[in-house]
Chain A
Amino acid sequence: MYPRAMEDSDCVLVMGSNMAENHPVAFRWPMKAKVEHGAKLIHVDPRFTRTSAMADIYAPLRAGSDIAFLGGLVNFVLNSERWNQDPFFRTFVSTYTNASTIISSEFRDTEDLDGVFSGLMAYTGDAEEWPFNGFIGEYKSSSWKYAGSDTHSRGRIADTQRSGEQANDGPGDERTKRALKNAASGPPYDRMVQALVGAPELRDETLANPRSVLQIVRRHFSRYTPEMVEQVTGCPRDLFLRVAQTILDNSGAERTTSIAYAVAWTQHTYGVQIIGCAALLQLLLGNVGRPGAGIVALRGHASIQGSTDIPTLYHSIHGYMAHPSALKPHASLAEWLVEETQPTGYWANTPKFMVSYLKSMYGAAATRDNNFGYDWHPKIIGDHSHMPMFVAMNEGRVKGMFCIGQNPATSLNAKLERSGLRKLEWLVVKDNWLHETSMFWKTAPEVRSGEVATADIATEVFFFPSSQVAEYDGSFTNTQRMLQWHYKAANAPGDCRSDMYFTYELGKRLKKLYANSTLARDEGFKHMVWDYESDDARDRQMGEPGSEKILKEINGFYSDNPGRHLAGAEDLSDDGSTSCASWIYCGVFPSPGENRSANRVADKPGVRGAQLGWGFAWPSNRRILYNRVSADPQGRPWSERKKYIWWDEAQRKWVGLDVPDFPETKPPTQQPVPGATGMDAHSGTDAFILKADGVGWLYVPEGLVDGPLPTHYEPAESPVRNPLYRQQSSPVLKYWNVAGNPLADVADPKYPHVITTYRLTEHYLSGAMSRWNPWLAELQPELFVELSPELAREKGIANLDRVRITSPRASVHAKALVTRRMQPLKIAGQMVHQVGMPFHWGWEGLTTGDVVNEMSALIGDPNVSMHEGKAFVCNVQKA
């Protein structure tokens, strides 16, 4: 869901986020719900923050214990009288989730194996050329699958599996062979998709089968009792129960609860599982796809959603398709299609998306005979995300780096990142200011201390001044998946140029360099379509490309008539007759002169609507995804109050306040066609159209590399033993065991406290955009560490004292901010102190301070390689 939809919520749980401080504008909507119709606001957080200040209930918890808390909520709901008696919940869960699906008899839960799932083994997947994937273990996940599925059902799989870092059950069976044969004779690829269709899953509609998802979920969470929640999280039992009861009271046919999270859920070694646990809870409560219901992924940057849609990520290509990988059966287009296509549900259209993408890359050069240029496309050889990249840099395996809109000299285990930068031959920094990364060779702490001499650093550093967002035309995509066009308001000063300029110019020069190459590997550059000359004379003179030309390539057009734009993803074909960079954005620019992201028609005040005239939300301008579930199985609204999309029998179609996220004329009574592909395989109640089986997943049979159900693990560094299982932390997390990256032992007395790091409203990320602004610098002029009066007393620290904070990686200094907003918590009988530090500071700019990230470790989530910056250990002493 998206922030504005929170105005319809009856209860808002903010957890893993300090929404008021870090998303103050989005926070307008939960505040509106609170003030205008008395919605309950709950904040669960290690610190009492400006979000807590607005909350009806503030519940403290130990940083990193979120799954224990959420698991407790799941257990509470499943055992509550209301959930077991209100027909809404039973109908919702049995119709719209996989609660009734039977799981393989080979599956063993953490209940059976004391904290691990079946299939755990040693990791051996690193490629010789890139041994940086970092896994400490690996699951063979075949036992987690639906019973009766003879092979993997080709669901959408995790990043790590998509990039091939971790094995999945690859092809080799008869079905795959048949599909490959059919793919080779395509396009069209319909027969290939047909060949991939497997046996339907087994279900028990009574939900009583012990191997049904619901029963497995019940058993899995049975130990997450309120007493256990208190033991693990430190949240007093009565407070936890108040939170649980409030959420349950505000869920059902008449009322909805939303959950908002941000990077305090993602930055863990089990971040994906925390979010998965919230999704499980919301599916159980029917809080998905309905007004005021769902999970809001609050974004840390203005267009971070856009940067995953049109990805700056290494593992995916446009529209969430897997990046071709050398580690997967991706040797040819046919193999890629067989590996990545899901035969049932909307993803059955994958061949259309992929061929149209290749046409956008290589234009007329991409033909049926050369597999649309697939062989020219680069392939990845492992985890190329931030942490492994810097590990590789430290080993001298990376020659150069373009650093655009990032400040790694103050990033994770920052000393190690700076030593990586010193190994580069060249570094290009494009930013507003000469921030720490552009100055690491001259003013970094280790240079000033004499530990490293500038003369010994061979890295050649180039700095390109950057223009600001108001100085060029372009679009933002926010967490609502909504594109909003913005116009240039002023010319950029001096030599400042946009990032588009830089990328366009770089591409042009590279194409020129490779123009006469006869090497096969350079064919891609030679054929790459790269023509975005601006129609504006001044922009052309400055070398700035035309933004709308890029938007046109993303939206797509007909190959034989580029002036004719595609009106929507339904227009895509798999034979090369359409070009479309990103199928999900198709329809944003349906005809020349009709840029829907520039639409600015708001709904009339007081009229219920979804603001469909404002911007363009992908896909197809839908605002709430899976909104079919806002109606009951028969297609009627669950309640007048929560009416959103419903079946109109007279018109024989779905109507309502939003664009239906469902085939418009498919009646609720429609039965699936046995053996069919695509949407025909789904019934009139299969609302989750992107899922192969059409339902929301309480239990995740494939796709995640660390288990089908969320399980509480301790952070990689913790002051306590895991109170729930023998398994201490995630058995498959990513850790780079290199010099300078040591970890503390469990309950190490040298590092007795939990530390969490975060942002303040007044600054932005590494401070590269805020520490140079005098109006922001004066609001938070110095680095501080927040600690409780209890800990301060214990350590003889007074408010504003200079304090030294030490982790196994580094020590930093900061002023003490002693406040009761921090509190010690009793964890499994032991008093645990938590301290908090903002990570905005560095040694350049108008306000300077130590680099807090020097203390963090290169350790991460196994699914997405996100680091664990929200919970690790430290010591605090008066300096």
Chain B
Amino acid sequence: MAEAMGFFTDPTVCIGCKACEVACKQWNQLPALDDARKTLSGDSYDNTRKLDGTHWRHVKFIEQIDEDRRDGRWTMLSDVCKHCVQAGCLEVCPTNAIIRTEFDTVVIQSDTCNGCKACIAACPFGVIDINPVSNTAQKCTLCYDRLQAGMEPACSQACPTDSIVFGPVRELKERAARRVDQLHAAGEKRAVLYGADEKMLGGLNAFFLLVDRPEVYGLPPDPKMPSRHLVPGTLFTMLGALIVGLVSIFNFRDRRADEAGRD
């Protein structure tokens, strides 16, 4: 396998221009919205609202401004598929349409996807949805076709401020660590990386720098694999069976007693 490739996304230099959204749509030929979202959201400058089957990059706009305006922040963060090292979507796909590529990225192959939606529920980040044109589940491919041709993904190439950086994950982590140090030195003590270490789903190949709690950015603080629920789930099933069995036994006994009493 080639070296693991990914994205480092840094909202502290994101200007919310959405060039990533448009570059992604253009390269991947994704249609524009044709639903109720074609109206103003009223939520800052975010009108595409979420990642889904036709939005593989999505810029979030978070306004945090005090009432007296003495302290204010407007954060923009370009969200994307995290290309998890332990990917829930890949695990649950019944047709093996979701594969891990030679770049350690996670790609849904449309020709073998049957649109069962299992991956949509399995993704802890809400990244995947059905593309109404193909009727299959779709998400960011980390521009697999471009990578195979030795090119950079469309979104990071279009990013004017290098808020989205593409490269070998190992190098990105070094770069990200330097940026965190720099922000700490500049007084931004809240700067922290999200998904850069293996604790989170074995590591996110598309990881982020955050300057607030993950929830503020709509990111789960502790995302889990769907299979993580398997062990306790099995226990619950066994316990449940036991209880049902016991209740049944007592029930039968009671009924027998009732029947006996009627006699």
Q: Which residues does A use to contact B, with CB under 8 Å?
A: 20-21, 24-25, 27-28, 31, 35, 38, 48, 50-54, 58, 60, 760-762, 774-782, 784, 799-800, 815, 817, 819-821, 823
Contact = CB atoms under 8 A, between A and B. Distances in A.
A774 B31 contact: yes
B173 to A, nearest CB: 18
Given A779-B48, A819-B63, A820-B63, 11 more contacts: A21-B15, A24-B15, A24-B161, A38-B186, A48-B74, A53-B76, A775-B22, A778-B33, A779-B22, A780-B47, A815-B42
Nearest to B73: A53
A53 B38 CA distance: 26
5 contacts: A27-B15, A48-B72, A775-B26, A781-B38, A799-B42
B147 interface: no
Contacts of B69: 60, 820, 823
A58 B73 CA distance: 10
A28 B74 contact: no
Central interface residue in A21, A778, A819, A823, by most chain B CB within 10 Å: A778
B17 A31 contact: no
B17 A50 contact: yes
A781 B44 contact: no
A820 B67 contact: yes
A349 to B, nearest CB: 40
A21 B17 contact: yes
A35 B32 CA distance: 34
B52 interface: no
The prevalent SS among residues of B at the interface is: loop
Contact of A24 (B17, B38, B72, B74): B17
B18 interface: yes
Interface string B97-123: 000000000000000000000000000
Contacts of A815: 40, 42
Nearest to A60: B69
A21 B15 CA distance: 7
B63 A821 contact: yes
Given A50-B16, A54-B15, A27 B40 contact: no
Contacts of B32: 774-775, 777-778
A781 B47 contact: yes
A782 B67 contact: no
Contact of A779 (B21, B67, B161): B21
Interface string B188-217: 000000000000000000000000000000
A776 B22 contact: yes
B186 A800 contact: no
B50 interface: no
Nearest to A56: B186
B250 to A, nearest CB: 58
Nearest to A823: B69
Interface string B1-37: 0000000000001011111011001100001110001
- Most chain B CB neighbours (cut-off 10 Å) among A25, A784, A820: A820
B37 to A, nearest CB: 8
Interface string B31-68: 11100011110101101100000000000000101110
B141 interface: no
Contacts of B33: 778, 781
Contacts of A48: 65, 72, 74
Contact of B65 (A20, A761, A776, A820): A820
B72 A58 contact: yes
The 6 closest A-B pairs by CB, nearest first: A774-B32, A820-B65, A53-B74, A20-B15, A782-B40, A800-B42
A27 B161 contact: yes
B11 to A, nearest CB: 10
Nearest to A798: B42
B249 to A, nearest CB: 60
Contacts of A21: 15, 17
Contact of A820 (B21, B47, B72): B72
Nearest to A789: B67
A813 to B, nearest CB: 13
Contact of A781 (B18, B21, B40, B161): B40
A20 B48 CA distance: 20
B136 interface: no
Nearest to A784: B40
B138 interface: no
B160 interface: yes
Contacts of B45: 50, 760, 780
B75 interface: yes
A780 B16 CA distance: 13
A817 B42 contact: yes
Contacts of A781: 33, 37-40, 47
A164 B46 CA distance: 50
Contact of A31 (B13, B37, B47, B63): B13
Contacts of B17: 20-21, 24, 50, 761
A58 B74 CA distance: 12
Interface string B231-263: 000000000000000000000000000000000
Given A776-B22, A819-B44, A820-B69, A27 B76 contact: no
Contacts of B75: 53
B65 A31 contact: no
Contacts of B16: 20, 50, 53, 761
B47 to A, nearest CB: 6
Contacts of B66: 820
Given A778-B32, A782-B40, A821 B25 contact: no
B48 A778 contact: yes
Contact of A775 (B25, B37, B39, B73): B25
Select the residue from B33, B66, B75 with max chain A CB neighbours within 10 A. Answer: B33
Nearest to A783: B40
Nearest to B163: A31
A830 B182 CA distance: 43
Contacts of A774: 31-32
